């Protein structure tokens, strides 16, 4: 659709995600202008895309100026390009072509601190910026992603109708999008989503590892167990794809068994652990999941150590009661992962003054995104004002599973199962429910060797004491 100053949405970046997002907007009735910088090898991307969907309302711009001119004002430009420098470079190219109140929406996996900076910078120039977290992969982008926009309330109001039209829809009919908060909050929440994703994946992999190695189940047997679990409270996208993966065969061979056991990553897991360290919030389930990927890359050390240290603990099939115990432990672990993730978002919201609205957060992850699952439906019913562990709803869910959790971790320990994420959930839980930790000993040690001082039981928190320990 060619129309000077008439197209409602412009999208730059025709990679897999960009194409899907552009098609999603177009399928909701918008005229969409598309553009891609003519990088070597990508010169024909725009024409090819427009030709491929010649019956649709796409306008393929010949250059950036043409692209900007084809848009209705205030112009709404979605960037779906590589995060980092390319986003800054594109913004600098766009700036001279834009007028006051035009909106740049960065839909890539940008670091939240970049979005925070860009938002302040563009605001000072009279332009509007949205750091938009998008989850759901290629299919989600095409048919309905979960959207996490960070921007001012008024910019969100302006864009809500567009966002709602392309987002996934949950069971009660609500679109999976809400105004997250200001500045970099959308990308922060997307980053935590990815951390939760790493941990959810890792915990499923740990249970798969236990079933396969210690219980001696075949891929098909594990798929059947997971299929059963997927019908209930553990149901969700990641378990669903795991079932397909377990059953997939190529030339009669299980594809999964042919895949090298070295996990990759694109860095968002690392970002979330960094952020948690900076904010002083423990997220051990996520951090152990990131480290489990790193450990998997130590293939030569693992192989060498395996031949020296590994003792087979034999294979023990499980009763159906035993299988249910593992299921309950996985559910508890998963809840504890979310407790940590939400706590991190809360701390960030306070630290960066984002004013994140928690009542809708779980809602937008119910569908469309990679971590969509029944657990998000449960969490969305909880009024989150404090750490989730203190809510009655979570209390009910965890209290009935503590014994299964204890039993499972004991079995994992005695069978030599590598379960860092589930163990981290277990340890987080055992720490967060302690009225008294052993940090008094740490404080005494710090004071002993470094005169770092300590606070005293029953004294005001602002009073610090020092002991001369050798006298
Ligand atoms: C999504 C995904 C998506 C992707 C990440 C993580 O929400 O659609 O989170 O963003 O899976 O890039 O990838 P890595 O596992 O490679 O870090």
Domain ranges of the chain: 9-183, 190-432, 438-471
Confidence label for 311 from pLDDT (cuts 50, 70 and 90): confident
Higher pLDDT, 415 or 325: 325
Q: Are 375 and 388 in contact (CB under 8 A)?
A: no
463 is catalytic: no
CB 246 within 8 A of CB 255: no
Q: Would you identify the CATH topology of the domain 438-471? A: 1.20.5
Catalytic residue among 26, 116, 170, 197: 197
Architecture in CATH of 9-183:
3-Layer(aba) Sandwich (3.40)
Q: What single-letter DSSP state applies at residue 214? A: I
Q: What are phi and psi of 382, to 5 degrees?
A: -95, 135
**Alpha carbon distance 361, 377 (integer Å):** 11
Predicted pLDDT at 1: 52
- Which residues pair with residue 76 across a beta bridge? 103
| Angle (CA) 373 379 385, round 5° | 150
Tell me which of 107, 167, 194 to substitute to probe ligand 1's pocket, judged by most ligand atoms within 8 Å of the beta carbon.
194
CA-371 nearest atom, ligand 1: 7
* C-alpha span between 285 and 282 (Å, rounded): 9
Tens of pLDDT, residue by residue over 415-425, are 999 999 999 99
- 3-state DSSP assignment of residue 369: coil
Longest alpha-carbon distance in the chain = 87
What is the percentage of the chain residues whose pLDDT exceeds 70?
99
Which class for 436: exposed (0-12), middle (13-18), buried (19 or more C-beta within 10 A)?
Answer: exposed
> What is the mean pLDDT of the segment spanning 125-149?
97
pLDDT of residue 358: 83
Decide: 456 in ligand 1 pocket, CB within 6 A: no
What is the CATH topology of the domain spanning 190-432? 1.10.1040
For ligand 1, the distance from its centroid to the CA atom of residue 194, given in whole angstroms, is 6
Could you confirm whether 190 is annotated as catalytic?
A: yes
Average pLDDT in the chain? 96
Angle between helices 268-279 and 185-209 (to 10 degrees): 110
Contact (Cβ atoms closer than 8 angstroms) between residue 7 and residue 29? no
Residue 15 has pLDDT above 90, yes or no: yes
Q: How far is the CA of 269 from the centre of ligand 1 (A)?
A: 9
User: Could you tell me what percentage of the chain is helix, strand and coil, using 3-state DSSP and rounding each to the nearest 5?
Assistant: 55, 10, 35
Which candidate in 19, 190, 212, 346 is catalytic?
190
Residue 293: which residues within 8 A CB-CB, separation 6 or more? 198, 202, 263, 264, 265, 269
DSSP for residue 2: -
Per-residue model confidence (pLDDT) at position 374: 98
Q: Is the pLDDT of residue 2 over 60?
A: no
Residue whose CB lies within 8 A of the most ligand 1 atoms, among 268, 273, 292, for a mutation test: 268
- On the question of pLDDT at 22 being above 90, the answer is yes
pLDDT exceeds 90 at position 42: no
Among 180, 187, 177, smallest CA distance to 109 is for 187
Would you say the CB of residue 370 lies under 6 angstroms from ligand 1? yes
Ligand 1 centroid – CA 149 distance (Å): 17
Structure confidence by residue, pLDDT tens digits, 347-400: 999 999 998 988 789 999 999 999 999 999 999 999 888 889 999 999 999 999
pLDDT for 337 equals: 98
- Residue 216 pLDDT class (50, 70, 90 cuts): very high
pLDDT higher than 70, residue 3: no
Q: Whose CA is nearest to atom 9 of ligand 1?
A: 194
pLDDT at 414 over 70: yes
Report whether residue 197 contacts ligand 1, using a CB cutoff of 6 Å: yes
């Amino acid at each position: 659709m060619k129309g000077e100053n008439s197209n409602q949405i412009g999208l730059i970046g025709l990679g897999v995600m960009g194409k899907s997002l552009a098609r999603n907007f177009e399928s909701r009735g918008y005229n969409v202008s598309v553009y891609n910088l003519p990088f070597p090898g990508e010169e024909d991307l725009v024409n090819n895309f427009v030709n491929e969907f010649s019956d649709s309302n796409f306008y393929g711009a010949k250059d950036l100026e043409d692209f900007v001119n084809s848009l209705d004002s205030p112009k709404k430009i979605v960037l779906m390009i590589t995060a980092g420098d390319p986003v800054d470079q594109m913004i600098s190219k766009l700036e001279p072509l834009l007028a006051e109140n035009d909106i740049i929406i960065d839909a890539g996996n940008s670091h939240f601190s970049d979005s925070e900076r860009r938002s302040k910078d563009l605001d000072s120039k009279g332009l509007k910026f949205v750091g938009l977290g998008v989850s759901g992969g290629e299919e989600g982008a095409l048919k309905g992603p979960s959207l996490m926009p960070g921007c001012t309330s008024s910019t969100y109001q302006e864009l809500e109708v567009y966002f709602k039209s392309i987002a996934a829809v949950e069971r009660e009919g609500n679109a999976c999008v809400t105004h997250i908060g200001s500045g970099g909050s959308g990308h922060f929440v997307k980053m935590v989503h990815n951390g939760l994703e790493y941990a959810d994946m890792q915990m499923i992999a740990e249970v798969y590892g236990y079933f396969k190695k210690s219980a001696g189940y075949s891929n098909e047997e594990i798929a059947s167990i997971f299929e059963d679990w997927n019908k209930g409270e553990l149901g969700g996208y990641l378990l669903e794809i795991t079932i397909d993966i377990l059953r997939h065969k190529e030339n009669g061979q299980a594809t999964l068994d042919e895949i090298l056991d070295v996990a990759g990553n694109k860095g968002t897991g690392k970002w979330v652990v960094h952020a948690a360290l900076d904010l002083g919030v423990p997220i051990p389930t996520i951090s152990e999941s990131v480290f489990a990927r790193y450990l998997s890359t130590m293939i030569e050390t693992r192989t060498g150590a395996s031949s020296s240290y590994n003792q087979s603990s034999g294979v023990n099939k499980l009763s159906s009661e035993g299988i249910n115990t593992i299921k309950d432990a996985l559910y508890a672990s998963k809840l504890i992962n979310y407790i940590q993730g939400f706590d991190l978002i809360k701390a960030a919201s306070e630290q960066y003054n984002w004013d994140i609205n928690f009542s809708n957060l779980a809602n937008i992850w119910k569908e469309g995104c990679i971590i969509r699952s029944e657990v998000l439906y449960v969490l969305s019913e909880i009024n989150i004002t404090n750490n989730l562990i203190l809510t009655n709803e979570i209390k009910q869910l965890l209290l009935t599973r503590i014994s299964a959790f204890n039993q499972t971790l004991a079995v994992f320990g005695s069978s030599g199962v590598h379960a860092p994420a589930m163990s981290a959930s277990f340890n987080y839980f055992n720490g967060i429910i302690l009225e008294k930790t052993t940090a008094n000993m740490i404080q005494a040690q710090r004071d002993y060797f470094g005169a770092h001082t300590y606070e005293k039981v029953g004294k005001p928190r602002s009073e610090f004491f020092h002991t001369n320990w050798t006298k």
